[in-house]
Amino acid sequence: MKIYKIVFAAVLLFSTVSVFAETGKPDPVKGQAVTEITSFLKNPAISAHGEDMLAQVYLMLNREGEIVVLQVEAENELMEAYIKNRLNYKKLQSKELLPGREYVVPVRIKASV
């Protein structure tokens, strides 16, 4: 009988943990939050010569509603530094993003003509 209790407790613990586990896939940023993030990244101090520069920005909000950049997957270090500098700890007015959740937003800097 003691074995059954231990097995039952282990199964219950495992199922509870798996229900609350993150999927590991960040949510895309949408709506008004995209507009605000775009405004923070306007007038880049770097220029893309020839081709557009692309990046994936992984971020979350802290309790104060400020952006915390977790990771930037960019083509070069200048773009990565630019994005981190412009976004880190900027306060979002939009209430669409929840604190503590991970989000992803694609960023494109258009090539200069």
Structure tokens at 12: 């219950």
Domains of the chain, residue spans: 25-112
Structure tokens at 48: 């893309």
pLDDT tens for each residue of 20-78 = 445 578 999 989 999 999 999 998 877 767 788 899 999 999 999 999 999 999 988 99
Q: Strands, E, within 14-113: which ranges?
A: 27-28, 48-49, 53-61, 67-74, 103-109, 111-112
pTM to 2 decimal places? 0.74
pLDDT at residue 68, as a whole number: 97
Q: In the CATH scheme, what architecture does the domain 25-112 have?
A: 2-Layer Sandwich (3.30)
User: What is the torsion angle, in degrees rounded to the nearest 10, for the CA atoms of residue 4, residue 5, residue 8 and residue 9?
Assistant: -150
